[in-house]
Amino acid sequence: MALDSNRAKMPYLNKCSLIKQGAEARVYRGIFLGKPTIIKERFPKLYRHAVLDEKLTHRRTVQEVRSILRCRKAGISTPVVYFVDYTSHCIFLEDLVGSITVRDHIASSQESGQDPVCLSSLAEEMGKILAKMHDEDVVHGDLTTSNMLLRQGSEDAKPDLVLIDFGLSFTSALPEDKGVDLYVLEKAFLSTHPNTEQLFQRLLKSYTHASKKAPAVIKKLDEVRLRGRKRSMVG
């Protein structure tokens, strides 16, 4: 079976522990060159036509690595890329031990009825980081709160916001693409975390302050919001 032969090519993976199977890839935890490592394996999708599957998988692997490196150079926190195997489409990344997703953080904060101020400052931080990323002309393509991690640095320091999952990312200077990027996040945010409209507004405000190119992007965001939702289907 395709899956087994794939794993056979990577006997290494058998020694690692599978931590989750997302929609895109399987994620394993292991040790690489003595360091705790996350291995992201983009396995073949059997429902796709083979040619399409190979093209997509390869493109996404390459794009992910490129975007991570571009962001790092711009000073945005991302996992370190240790190694890439282009035949099996595996990326070996730094394991951010002890980090949690922003999604889990917001969910638990809301559940425990915690001080909303700390969530506000998180939203502001998110806005700032995204502004930096867009100013680098990197469009993430899959912004959700599951794709942002909070890494606790030293005891007292504020947690570090780390961006991950750049598989759908691409380079673009167009406000349209950045606007859609924010739209994707807004939709994911509001559908996953009900009653957080104000929080997201904070994020956008912080984004606007942090980026000089923001006005055009926000304008596009407003336009994109009006699209798709029951537009005329007279073709």
Partner 1 sequence: MTVVIGFEGSANKIGVGIVRDGEVLSNPRRTYITPPGQGFLPSETAKHHRSVILTVVREALDEAELSPADIDCVAYTKGPGMGAPLVTVALVARTLAQLWGKPLLGVNHCIGHIEMGRLITQANNPTVLYVSGGNTQVVAFSERRYRIFGETIDIAVGNCLDRFARVIKISNDPSPGYNIEQMAKKGTEYVELPYTVKGMDVSFSGVLSYIEEAAHKMLSSGQCTAEDLCFSLQETLFSMLVEITERAMAHCGSQEVLIVGGVGCNLRLQEMMGIMCKERGAKLFATDERFCIDNGAMIAQAGWEMFRSGYVTELPDSWITQR
Cα Rg of the chain (Å, integer): 19
Question: What is the spatial distance between Cα 126 and Cα 105, in angstroms, rounded to a whole number?
Answer: 13
| Chain CA centroid to CA 165, Å | 4
For partner 1, the closer of residues 32 and 130 by Cβ is 130
Closest separation in Å from C-beta 35 to partner 1 = 27
Closest separation in Å from C-beta 157 to partner 1 = 30
Q: For the chain, give the DSSP string.
A: -HHHHHHHH-HHHHTSEEEEE-SS-EEEEEEETTEEEEEEE----TTS-HHHHHHHHHHHHHHHHHHHHHHHHTT---PPEEEEETTTTEEEEE--TT-EEHHHHHHHHHHTT--HHHHHHHHHHHHHHHHHHHHTTEE-S---GGGEEEE--SSSSPPEEEE---TT-EE---HHHHHHHHHHHHHHHHHHSTT-HHHHHHHHHHHHHH-TTHHHHHHHHHHHHHSSSS-----
Given 4, 115, 142, 181, the catalytic residue: 142
- 137 given a catalytic annotation: no
For partner 1, the closer of residues 73 and 227 by Cβ is 227
CB atoms within 10 A of CB 84: 16
Closest separation in Å from C-beta 146 to partner 1 = 7
Closest separation in Å from C-beta 159 to partner 1 = 23
For partner 1, the closer of residues 60 and 132 by Cβ is 60
For partner 1, the closer of residues 140 and 202 by Cβ is 140
Closest separation in Å from C-beta 31 to partner 1 = 26
Tell me the CA distances in angstroms from 218 to 31, 106, 183, one per residue in order. 42, 24, 10
For partner 1, the closer of residues 9 and 55 by Cβ is 55
List residues binding partner 1 (CB under 8 A).
21-23, 45-49, 51-52, 55-56, 141-144, 146, 168, 180, 183-185, 187-188, 191-192, 194, 224, 227-235
Which residues form the catalytic set?
A: 142
